[in-house]
Structure 1
Amino acid sequence: MARDTLTRDQIIRTAVELLDDEGLAGLNMRALGARLDSAATAMYWHVKSKDNLVLLATDQVWSELTLPDAGTADWRTAVTVMATDLHAMFTRHPWLVQVLAAHLVYGEGKARHDDRSLALYEAAGLTAAQADQAAGAVFTYVLGNAAGAAATASLTRKGNEGGSSAEKQFRHTMAEAREIAMRYPRLRARLETQAAADYAAAPEGAFEFGLRTLLNGLEQELAAQSGPNPPR
């Protein structure tokens, strides 16, 4: 595909597909050019650099999020929808976790998401500074929960690429992890139940429980501020 027939949108969409398939380590201009049947140099003409392409791909997937209207739903329902949707996005695109650890992420899609998030907390009655803290707390919680899925995706990819030897190494590592955990009574009790057979898996409903608990705390803060003697 000649340089002048490529579009920036085509390159970004294909980069997202490559990242989903190969992870952050698998993204390079040569591999991207091969998927587009174009020379690697043509990629640079449209996106300047690999780092810039990562940011463009990141903002592309951030635009997948459906944002609730701050004026049509109560703040807690809207925040729950946003957090759940964000978690699902990280699960669909586990490379995002690595990107956030290595890049300063910005763009229209993320800005749109962040602005709506702040609007919801301010609509709940928090000050601008408190809304920043609340949004940061919920985002960090969602990102932390997504890290497990990202690690699993990375390990699975390495196993698929490495063949039987990588799979054998993975099983060996998990067996060692279980062996150590079995020395501790509470970990052993969980590993001995069928529900906790997978050492690396989070308990069912763990994300929903944590998010609910976090929002309960925010509601308590709001109730304390609206009481007869709000804290200074």
Structure 2
Amino acid sequence: MKESIWTRKPASAPARETLTREQIVRTAMTTLDAEGLAGLSIRKLAAKLGAGATSLYWHVPTKDDLIDLLIDEIWGEIDVPDPALAGWRNGALLFGHSLRAAVIRHHWLPEVMYTRPSMGPNAMALGSRGLVLFGAAGFTGKDLDYAMGSVMAYTLGTASAEVATREITRKSGVSLTEWAGEVLKQVDAVADEDMRESVRRRADRDLDTTFSESFTFGLEALLDGLETRVRN
């Protein structure tokens, strides 16, 4: 594996250089949130910042380095409550919802977050706070790692699937509810009676609400299981 931007010694920018890494990351984040990964290039980003590409390379040598910086910036947006204030279970719920919201807000994240390890300062801080949170539930040792990992895996997997659906509808030019209605109509045409009943329950519902309720149901069920496990 190649050396990470987090372990590599940064190059010294010329004294006259006024562009900062923070400016680069902020502009790149805005670009990706609007245009996705296809809209990002170092030269295009330099033009938006009114700088030469060489100026960016002093701070961010490669596009992969920039992606690493952006991912870590997102980890810094996620709320991991203090269990002394929220309690471990309410804290875990807030953590899950905050993580889901970040993935939806930055819809390009699922395309890159599994392709590299997260070891930036925000990722490390999130991990440390998460271990404190789940440690307050009574988990220790490897079970502590697995408990936190289970909530993260559920949340990231569910949110990534939701993002994929939202991207399909965005590209189709119809609303999320219209797209879902058409899908359900086609499913109804080929389903058996049990599935038709399930389709009918969902046919007239707002899909945003369904996504939120479904996610909360699953997260609550997962926490029920973790709570039972740690008590036994």
**Does TM-score exceed 0.5, indicating one fold?**
yes
Measure the CA separation in 2 of the matches of 1:204 and 1:190.
Answer: 18
2:195 is equivalent to residue 179 of structure 1: no
Question: How do residues 99-138 of structure 1 correspond to structure 2 at under 5 angstroms?
Answer: 99-138=112-151
What is the RMSD of the two structures over their aligned residues, measured on CA atoms? 2.8
Question: What's the CA shift string for 1:88-125, capped at 9, x where partnerless?
Answer: 11111111111113222221111111111111111211
Q: Which stretches of structure 1, 4 residues or more, deviate above 3 A after TM superposition?
A: 156-160, 174-178, 190-204
Deviation at 1:178, TM superposition (A): 5.1
Among all aligned residue pairs of Structure 1 and Structure 2, give the percentage whose two residues are the same amino acid. Answer: 38
SS of the residue corresponding to residue 124 of structure 1 reads: coil
Q: Which amino acid aligns with 2:164?
A: A
TM-score w.r.t. the length of structure 2 is 0.80
Provide the residue aligned with 1:13 in structure 2. Answer: 26
Question: How do residues 5-154 of structure 1 correspond to structure 2 at under 5 angstroms?
Answer: 5-154=18-167
Question: What's the CA shift string for 1:68-93, capped at 9, x where partnerless?
Answer: 11333321111111111111111111
Change beyond 3 A, Cα 1:65–1:198: closer
Q: Which amino acid aligns with 1:106?
A: M
Q: Which amino acid aligns with 1:184?
A: A
Q: Which amino acid aligns with 1:35?
A: K
Contact 2:41/2:63 (<8 A) preserved = yes
Contact 1:16/1:57 (<8 A) preserved = yes
- State the aligned residue count: 213
Q: Which amino acid aligns with 1:28?
A: S
Provide the residue aligned with 1:223 in structure 2. Answer: 231
Provide the residue aligned with 1:227 in structure 2. Answer: none
Measure the CA separation in 2 of the matches of 1:138 and 1:118.
Answer: 12
TM-score w.r.t. the length of structure 1 is 0.80
Q: Which amino acid aligns with 1:96?
A: L
Q: Which amino acid aligns with 1:222?
A: V
SS of the residue corresponding to residue 101 of structure 1 reads: coil
Deviation at 1:181, TM superposition (A): 5.7
Change beyond 3 A, Cα 1:120–1:197: closer
Measure the CA separation in 2 of the matches of 1:200 and 1:85.
Answer: 16
Measure the CA separation in 1 of the matches of 2:166 and 2:52.
Answer: 29
Provide the residue aligned with 1:190 in structure 2. Answer: 198
Change beyond 3 A, Cα 1:158–1:88: same
Measure the CA separation in 2 of the matches of 1:139 and 1:122.
Answer: 15
Measure the CA separation in 1 of the matches of 2:80 and 2:212.
Answer: 26
Question: What's the CA shift string for 1:1-40, capped at 9, x where partnerless?
Answer: xx82211100001111111011122221122122212223
